[in-house]
Amino acid sequence: MIEQRQLVGAWQLESWSIGYDGRDDISSPFGEEPLGLLVYSEDGWMSASISRRDRARLPQDASPRKVPDGVRAASYDSYFHYAGRYRVMQGGVVHYVTQSLNPNFPGTEQLRHAELDGETLVLTGKDEAGSVVRYHTLVWHRAPVTQPA
């Protein structure tokens, strides 16, 4: 069973795949090579961010708030983030979301089953989008320790 001390630190994303109840297909919402960073602190805070590796850049000559809505929406659609408190319990971790790019996430509890194999962390979870049940699998690798500059 996983313990909090084993999660503490930074993790880099290898993959995020989604399977669907009653279907054989699997999707990768941020492509085959997403970028992601998951951080668990010793004092019970977490932050997760994921993006497409090939995100389109916004025009540099304008504030992001001033670019056309469609351009901004497409850019933000390639990024996902949430943060909040976390707690390890019964083979999993619960993320208590307080901030998120998705305005529907704050106030939710995101339960993830957690498996640790050396420096690889696999988090799995289930949700419903409308009437579709989805099964998420995220594979993370412990980030290398960096030295202060």
Q: Which has more confidence, 20 or 71?
A: 20
What structural domains does the chain harbor?
4-142 (2.40.128.280)
pLDDT tens digits for range 40-69 = 999 999 999 999 999 888 888 878 788 888
Alpha helices in the chain (DSSP H): 4-7, 69-76
91: pLDDT confidence band, cut at 50, 70 and 90?
confident
Whether the pLDDT of residue 148 is over 80: the answer is no
Residue-level pLDDT at 30: 94
Buried b (16+ CB within 10 A) or exposed e, 85-108: ebebeeebbbbbbeebeeeebeeb
Global confidence as pTM: 0.90
Residue-level pLDDT at 147: 73
The H-or-E segment that residue 43 falls in is: none
Quote the CA–CA distance of 81 and 49 in Å, as a whole number.
4
